[in-house]
Amino acid sequence: MSDLDADSPLTLPGFFDALADGTLLAGVCGDCGEVLYPPRPACYACGSRAVEAEPQSKHGTVYSYTAVHAPPPALEAEAPYTIAVVEFEEGGRLTGRLDAPYEAVEVGDPVRLRVREPTDAERSLALSYEEDWPLHEFVPE
């Protein structure tokens, strides 16, 4: 395991710094092979601390999805919108917004991760330390 400090890729700030630079990082457990999004210093499958942050592809498939009809007030104008759990090619799953109408999505659909700046409405929901973090969302391929 690499040194763990505020800039470590095994922390949320480190994950979002890499994402802002165009790199999707996952923690990969050296003991059981579990892929962790976002990376963290310990494996939640086996408890090992032999986790390293490794770049991953941004391609995956829809594992599960839902429509959000009652969002926080700042996002009411955008409802309904689709949220998906995506399973990446290397393994591991990440939840995020899917840029497609709910009716057009099916489990198994191929998607890719896109990184973008948050809108003013999205930024208003962020905690102070999250305000500069980019957002990830999925787009159909």
DSSP string, 1-35: ----STT-TTSHHHHHHHHHTT-EEEEEETTT--E
Residue 27 has a pLDDT of: 96
pLDDT confidence of 3, banded at 50, 70, 90? low
Residue 120 has a pLDDT of: 94
Give the closest residue to 98 by CA, choosing from 62, 46, 134.
Answer: 62
Residue pair 96/90 in contact (Cβ under 8 Å)? The answer is: no
Q: Which amino acid is at 25?
A: L
pLDDT confidence of 24, banded at 50, 70, 90? very high
Q: What is the DSSP letter of 52?
A: E
Residue pair 113/58 in contact (Cβ under 8 Å)? The answer is: yes
